[in-house]
Structure 1
Amino acid sequence: MKTLTLHLEGLGPSDLPMKRLAEYLCELAELYGAGGHLHFASVTKGSARLNACVDDDHHHKVLHRVREVANGVGPKKAKKAYLRLADLMLDDQASGVLESEGCRIIQFPRISKHQPLVVFKHGSIQGRLYTIGGKDDSVPVRLEGANGETLYCETDTETAAQLAPLLFKQVRLHGKGEWERRQSGGWRLKKMQIVSYEQLEKSSLKAAIGRMKKAGGILWDQIESPNEKILDQRG
């Protein structure tokens, strides 16, 4: 058996909810493409290291496939998995290095080679409120989205104080967001300035989660840019 390790710099095992870990492993399996010859091994401490083992006679095939994909060629599904992994790392504020048997194979891109399209638009997000803090007038607020991703927000001290009793509860936040085009398509929230909020009732939580999954954890209004039109994702 030969080792394959995705080293997520800036992200520890405790920062990886099980659902998020599953997303990484699913995309890695598609990227490696070794089928039944690939086996998950462990997640080691420090910066998270996702360890897998591959049969010796398939090791060189996996390395060849990964290097091809990093250079923009190779199977379509593998290229899509590569871009999806880059998006996951961008969402988690981590950088990734793929290593094998102690050698660096590829470095995942943290930022697109092209200037990403960024738009500012009022919208809504929802998830589990888990952080409110800071000593400045602009208070950082963090939500855990439907897929375990972190949604970055900020607000004034008055709104932060009102939100405090809702810590660790499901909420919907409204405000002006900065949205960035993903490399693999779709959009991600870089940051939102909160202007209002509401607590999600337990009776509607199941329905809210269903809507979050359909919208990738983010709800926003119709956006039009000079190049394209993004449809309302709220269904």
Structure 2
Amino acid sequence: MRTDFEELSFVIPGYTPETIPLNRLIEYLQQMAVVLGDPENLHLVAIETGSVSPVLHAPKAVALEARERARRVARGDGTRKQVDAYNRIRRMVRRDARELGTPALLRSATAVLLEIPAASDDSGVLSGVRQATSVDGQLIRVGGAGDDAALQVQDLQGKILSGFTAKRGMAKDLAAHLWEPVRLHGIGLWERTGDGQWLLERMQVQSFEPIEDEDANLVLERLRSLNIAWPEDALDRLLAERQQP
């Protein structure tokens, strides 16, 4: 191995190279690539025998940054995407190797960099649920290279939301509405956690509309003036719908 490169190995429990399905191996590697970042400079050079241990080859500088990202995830202060990927691996380990009681490991030649134990419980967990989705918020970032631009939105409660993408033409139109309230429409990818909470993981924005930034009291007065027979449980119904994808 060249001295300006480093090897990191990812030990996946529950399989051997002969028994792991290709799509499962790819799924593990995709999530680990999110944890480590900079996948363009991480290269799969071997899969060690005995257990499934993909060996990743990276320039020293890239490996150093990957080590630091792994340390942050281990401390619980990685980015949302990194922590989500880490937790996905935990659920995969639970399904694939719970009875073994052994974690997945990210290792260098001399040390364990990240230990990924099986999740305690994935009952009720669903992931990859595609659903037509609308999100209201203030657009605070449009950027990135490639055909899909990355968007960042601050929702009505002040929470920063990432994972939104849009084609270049759409992103160009959206850029004219930076720091303005908008309603984004598109296809969302949702996940339901073990406690029944629905989380929006990603969303491909297909259309949008500006939202008038009106005084809340004026909006309420207009609503009250409408001749509508609201059901007694209207608020409960609205809140229930907002908790579902």
Give the structure with higher Rg (CA): 2
- TM superposition score category, shorter chain reference: 0.3 to 0.5
TM-score, L = length of structure 2? 0.45
Greater relative contact order structure (CA < 8 Å, 6+ sep)? 1
TM-score, L = length of structure 1? 0.47
